[in-house]
Amino acid sequence: MAGGAFLAHKIEFEDNSADDELEGVVFKIDDATHFEMVVLGELRSVTNVNLGNPMVVTLSNPSFEVSSDGLNVPSSLQGAFQSATDTSQLLPGQVVEIRATAPASAGPPIAITTDRVRLRMSQFTATFTGAPAPPNFVLGSLPGLFTNAGITSIGVQTSSSTQFENVTGVSALTDQNIVSVRGLLFSNGANPPQLIAAKVRKR
């Protein structure tokens, strides 16, 4: 706003206490107890960590949570994520928030241990593929973050909670349209990953 003040559209309660929590995008799964992410944000300043840093995350008796943010997430996807005990439900492109259990090591690589992984909203741009099948559709021509991990398509599920921009809905999209999506990204087992969409924007 004029004068440099921010106009808040949403205020979200983050946690009961100011822990060392980091938000980042997953870019590599190393093994059952280790994954790598790039830091996108800090709940408070964390020693040895800056925005944009890649880091190795070690799971230590972790709990897994989903920050649904008002979205209607299918119980099968949410249940699978929340019942995880290792990296089996993680994949490149997911945005997660981790809670550190000890100070981060300076590295390189920077390393940190966590006892909680919370799924947050991911966003990316890709190509609408095939014919629309409202309320769902499929994205292809994905960013390299996905294709480098062998992910060639992602299913997108929309609902009455999904916000559409520059398009009236799924039925108005056609093959090869470029769209940006924002939502919760789930591994979905042996099937292509699924994104529960909060926003769909036609480019």
Helix (H) or strand (E) holding 82: helix 75-82
* CB 180, CB 167: distance < 8 Å: no
pTM of the model: 0.91
CA distance 29 to 58: 11
Take residue 73 and report the two structure tokens written for it: 């997430």
Q: How far is CA 88 from CA 14, 29, 34, 82, 91, in A?
A: 25, 9, 11, 11, 8
Which of 132, 114, 131 has the alpha carbon at shortest distance from 49? 114
The predicted-structure confidence for 2-61, as pLDDT tens digits, reads as follows 888 888 877 766 666 557 899 999 999 999 999 999 999 887 778 888 899 999 999 999
For the chain, the structural domain boundaries read 19-120, 122-202
User: Which CATH architecture is the domain 122-202 placed in?
Assistant: Beta Barrel (2.40)
The predicted-structure confidence for 124-168, as pLDDT tens digits, reads as follows 999 999 998 999 999 999 999 999 999 999 999 999 999 999 999
Domain 19-120: what homologous superfamily? Nucleic acid-binding proteins (2.40.50.140)
